[in-house]
Chains A and B, each alone.
Chain A
Amino acid sequence: MSLPETWEPRPVPPANPETERFWSAAADGTLLLRECPDCGLVYHYPSALCPDCFTEAEWREASGDGTVYSFSLLRNHGDWPEDDLPVVFAYVELEEGPRVITNILDCPPQDVEVGMDVTVAFVPTDTEDVAIPVFVPAE
């Protein structure tokens, strides 16, 4: 098993001014979360204002460790290379709390289980400032 060399032809995120730092950090190998300096909420997606209190949030680095909260094996998918099916569409609960949508890669899909320990990895895209955070089984 291994990670793809590039995310294409899978869909690549359209970064915008609010989120481009998230994607460029990923390209540098760092998973970012948002943290509210007022109420302390650590959250994802990275909206500029805290979803609990509308305070301007700060960025913080995530450890990149988490567990599989849920997943599904998508047996067919129009956007996916045939050889990479099924897609392991998953929620990972990060060590910091937020549950994030992702894919589990670098292991046989049938081995994925709810509760398994995973860690972040990054797959480059054809866009220099964008890489895709995915999760792989923890060592």
Chain B
Amino acid sequence: MAADESVYIAGAFEHPTRDAPDKSTMQLHAEVARGALEDAGLEKDDVDGLLTAGVPWGGSGLPPLIMADYLGLDVSFADTTDWGGSSYVGHVGHARDAIRNGRCDVALVTLAGRPRSDPRSDDFQSYQDEFERPYGSVTLGRYAVAAQRHMHEYGTTPEQLAEIRVAASQHAQHNEDALFQDPVTVEDVVESRMVADPLHLMDCCVVTDGGGALLLVSEDVRADLERECVEVLGYGEAIGHLDGGRIDLTHTAAVDSGPMAFDDAGIDHDDIDYASIYDSFTITVLQTLEDLGFCEKGEGGEFVEGGTLQAPHGDLPFNTDGGGLCNNHPANRGGMTKVIEAVRQLRGEANDPVQVDADIAIAHGTGGSLGTRHGSITAVLGGEDR
């Protein structure tokens, strides 16, 4: 779609209630969504974009994931930018841009709340608080159940998961800022303390303070810069959730975000010289490699054996900064460092022993939890001299 093509509001619905003591806030979100679809004459399955703000999120955050899960949506675009009460006007503008850029065709914007019947906002929480937290649901456990199921279905072993930590540690030894710089062996990993079966302590990423930042610029700005720039070639996003109880713990939404990004960039797996793969846990990497199509589903364990992920000589060098597993996972959010290391590789500024000859790189993020709901985001980046 052209950047100046018209975008329209096809459905608009104001909920008739002014006092809803018998409903939850999330329920009102679903009811207004249904109302707008009916007004437009569209079906629920037509929706592929989601914009909302002020989502009940308890203490856990992640509003796009919670809302896509609750509403049962399969979206390729989500935006929960929150400017307070003006958010929904802002969403009109963001939805227009997303549609013009081909991110989605039907964008749903919802608002709901119950300050009259529930001024203390006692239901200002999500299903996480109600159906998960009482069972001790924590991030670690929500990844461990994915690992357990993957092992059950495909025979993946703790030693294979350990190969991922080993590769990250081999890279981290060259990073003087890395939290853990000592190389480890498969034995070190599988003999480390069991924290949430089948995950050992060394299957888990580090906890670190810190942060990161990026600047994206237009062609005009770049033209005046002396600094080598990296081009954003492709992008894809998708949300995986419980799907009414049909969750498949062995798959991530990378099965959708990957092909979107690769198509957007016009590349294939063979074009990728370097991969930043979100490594909150070793299982996160293994499932992502399968779901991005670097190997068949279930063969990730075999794929990572034999140094495949180790720079500079492995077939798919990954996380050459040491990743979240050994280097850094600032603010418990690893997507930033994934992009930063991909930029370093494409600029030829990675640590010397792990620098690869990289023209095309990917940065893939997995936020939230494989065991409940997560956002998979894939970006394809290109070096200046490719």
Contact = CB atoms under 8 A, between A and B. Distances in A.
B136 A103 contact: yes
Contacts of B149: 69-70, 91, 114
B232 interface: no
11 contacts: A14-B129, A44-B245, A45-B245, A69-B149, A73-B196, A73-B197, A87-B135, A89-B141, A91-B149, A91-B249, A99-B245
Contact of A101 (B72, B125, B137, B193): B137
A74 B145 contact: no
B305 interface: no
Interface string A76-119: 11011000001101110010011111110000000000110000
A45 B136 contact: no
A19 interface: yes
Interface of B: 21-24, 26-27, 30-31, 33-34, 37, 44, 70-72, 122-123, 125, 127, 129-138, 140-141, 144-149, 152, 193-199, 242-247, 249, 371-372
Contacts of B129: 13-14
A13 B347 CA distance: 50
Contacts of A74: 136, 138, 140-141, 144, 196
Contact of A70 (B133, B146, B246): B146
A51 B72 contact: yes
Nearest to A10: B134
A54 B244 contact: no
Interface of A: 7, 10-19, 41, 43-45, 47-54, 69-77, 79-80, 86-87, 89-91, 94, 97-103, 114-115, 132
B246 A98 contact: yes
B245 A52 contact: no
B33 A54 contact: yes
A18 B28 CA distance: 10
Given A72-B196, A89-B141, A102 B135 contact: yes
B260 to A, nearest CB: 23
Given A49-B34, A101-B131, 9 more contacts: A14-B125, A51-B72, A70-B146, A74-B144, A79-B136, A101-B372, A103-B135, A114-B152, A132-B134
A13 B136 contact: no
Residue among A10, A74, A114 having the largest count of chain B Cβ atoms under 10 Å? A74
A18 B199 CA distance: 36
B138 A77 contact: yes
A89 B24 contact: no
Contacts of B131: 13, 44-45, 100-101
B128 to A, nearest CB: 10
Contacts of A7: 134
A72 to B, nearest CB: 3
A102 to B, nearest CB: 6
Nearest to B136: A87
A117 B106 CA distance: 43
Contacts of B137: 89, 101
Given A13-B134, A74-B136, A99-B247, A53 B24 contact: no
B52 to A, nearest CB: 16
A78 to B, nearest CB: 9
B326 to A, nearest CB: 22
A132 B31 CA distance: 28
Contact of A43 (B37, B132, B141, B245): B245
A77 B133 CA distance: 12
Contacts of B194: 73, 75
B130 A15 contact: yes
Contacts of A54: 30, 33-34, 37, 44
Contacts of A102: 135
A86 to B, nearest CB: 8
Nearest to A7: B134
B197 A91 contact: no
A68 to B, nearest CB: 10
Closest 7 CB pairs of A and B: A98-B245, A51-B72, A43-B244, A72-B144, A18-B24, A16-B123, A70-B149
Contact of B24 (A13, A17, A71, A132): A17
Nearest to A114: B152
